Amino acid sequence: MNCLRLFILLIVAVLAGCATNSSQNSYAPSKKAYTAAETSRTIDLTHPPRDMWDRVRRGFAIPNLNSDLTERWTDYYASHPESVLLMSKRAGKYLYHIVDELDRRGLPTELALLPFVESAYNPTAYSSAKASGLWQFIPSTGLQYKLAQDAWRDQRRDPVASTSAALDYLSYLYDFQGDWYLALASYNWGEGSVKRALEKNTNAGMPADYASIKMPDETRNYVPKLQAIKNIIANPKKYGITLPEVSNTPYFTTVQKTDDIDIEVAARLAEISVEEFKALNASFNRPIILAEHQPALLLPTNRVDIFKANLEAYKGKLSSWQTYKSTPGESYVTIAKQYGISVAQLRAINGLGSKATRAIAQTLLVPAPGSKGSIQLASLEVPSTPSRPANSAKTSRGNDVVVLQRKANVRTHTVKSGETLFSLAKQYNTSVDELRKLNNLANNKLAKGKRLRVPGTSIRG
């Protein structure tokens, strides 16, 4: 009888030890490949991803963190559905690229949710610690990962460059710490700080893992916030959240530019708003994008062909600015006078301090001859806006002039073999988008013999 009692006690002790180890491992994982069961995923893999959210869920690979803080932050986000919706809409522009990069590197797709926590998916987010961009790089770490930061551009705000840098950094942190929770804590607090906290616990004979080390409140809440976003993305219906539609297709495409071009001109050539252009190209600090930087413009994929066609047909100035190479000690007053602007304008255009009076060896932005900073779009047709009559011929904005070659007349054109919307846009001095609107076209395909409505006067044979 005593032997039986002893045997039962041994079994209970073993089971209790297993339960304790299991609990610790679910909170602070060891470095290994995680299975679907460990991340509490139930996914039907018999069909391709329905959209980007489905694709994100399929790549979850970091063990779930179940804690009071996680529950608290999940409740918080669930009680602010309008904020989740706003962040999710912003994310739609960047998710495909980020998840593609994660898949290419074999990294967990939870990392695509990190900008929710870092920047609310705002590419121009800027913190009191001088962190900037989707991934919130501070200046020094940004430079360490080769993100250019100067008067002309800040690549911490470049979605492509900053994503590459962030995933490089996160991969390094995981290799360094051997644990995704510690890697994420290091991304927020710094790997040195986390390492010292682990060493302090080790020296004190205490457990050296994520659950046990002492961290600042911001870092202690960091992983639970990410887990909370993961919980909602994993099962939005459970929390009463409706996610916006995000197609599993590239939102943007890269276009190389070999000439200086104004941001406003580039946006209008792509037939998108300046705000939408800047959302993808937030790294540019000035109203002009310099060719010497070998820029890669990011354009919505459905606007790339339109941009190229409009660019080829465009006869106006691509830029109303030019650069001036100053010499050390040169007076800003003299430079401003030479280009017909005030020194205050020169400072504002170039981000110079109010007390700066003498130049260093630098590249300054000044108005091109005869432009005075205006944007001339004399040969580009621009769609009308609700606040402007459709037959308006000209609208003036101070020195900025945009000419709208809006035509009241239309005629019909019968499509010939080999003709495209792009060639017809050139022929009739209009845009692909306008031809689509005039003819209610869903795509760029044209059939021989199709009759199209086109602007009234042909300017090319």
Query: Cα(231)–Cα(239) distance, rounded to whole angstroms?
Result: 9
Residue 441 amino acid letter:
L
Residue 118 designated active-site: yes
Beta bridge partners of 262: 288
CB 416 within 8 A of CB 448: yes
Three-class secondary structure of residue 228 per DSSP: helix
Contacts for 389 with CB less than 8 Å, ≥ 6 apart: none
**H or E stretch at 217:** helix 217-234
Q: Show the beta-strand stretches assigned E in 79-194.
A: none
Q: How many CB atoms lie within 10 A of CB 29?
A: 20
Q: Which residues pair with 137 in a beta bridge?
A: 132
Does residue 57 contact residue 110 with C-beta atoms inside 8 Å?
no
> Distance between CA 160 and CA 440 in Å, rounded?
34
Is residue 397 within 8 A of residue 442, CB to CB? The reply is: no
Tell me which of 71, 110, 118, 312 is the catalytic residue. 118
Helix then strand then coil, in percent of the chain rounded to 5, is 45, 10, 45
Tally DSSP H helices, then E strands, for the chain. 18, 10
Residue 275: count other Cβ atoms within 10 Å of its Cβ.
8
Residues 280, 298 contacting (CB under 8 angstroms): yes
- Look at residues 216, 218, 200, 220 and name the one whose alpha carbon lies nearest to residue 208: 200
Known catalytic residues are 118
